[in-house]
Structure 1
Amino acid sequence: MGVKFGATVRKRYGKVYRTLKQKRRCPSCTSLKFKRVAMGIWRCNKCEYKVAAGAYDVNLGKLQG
């Protein structure tokens, strides 16, 4: 994202991107292989546990504020 977008938009994008790419623990087996498969679908590659949650984070309340 270059100069075309404002600083506020770039900061907000950076926050969402960092939240999306951070490592997460699987609620079922506690491994660190819990990743987003598609928008709102999260899956553990180790135990095949699937859950539908937020688009960018499993906990919906994290990005507000």
Structure 2
Amino acid sequence: MARKQGSTALKGHGVKFGATVRKRYGKVYRTLHKKRRCPSCGSLKFSRIASGIWECPKCSFKVASGAYDVDTEKLQI
């Protein structure tokens, strides 16, 4: 029988960490690495450059927000 391919987000996190911790980590990883649209220019290159600092390299728009996610509805200036 063939082995099941594991998720890259949880690679190296075996049984010793527990199911709840792995589920939480997987959710944070997926949230952090999803594609985001820049609130200023609309490009899909909006990404995190440091914890809580988000930047669009296309238009140089920077914003300080959450560590793992940016809520673009709160960015209405």
> Please, what TM-score do these two structures have when normalized by structure 1?
0.88
Structure 2: gaps spanning 5 or more residues: 1-12, 72-77
Aligned residue type for 2:37: R
Following superposition of structure 1 onto structure 2, how do residues 2-41 of structure 1 map, counting pairs within 5 Å? Answer: 2-41=14-53
Residues matched between the structures, number: 59
Structure 1: runs of 5 or more not aligned: 60-65
Bigger radius of gyration among the two = 2
RMSD: 0.5
- Which string of whole-angstrom CA distances, capped at 9 and with x for unpartnered residues, describes residues 11-42 of structure 1? 01000000000000000000001000000000
Q: Which has the higher contact order (CA 8 A, sep 6+)?
A: 1
Match of 1:51, SS state, is: strand
Identity of aligned residues (%): 78
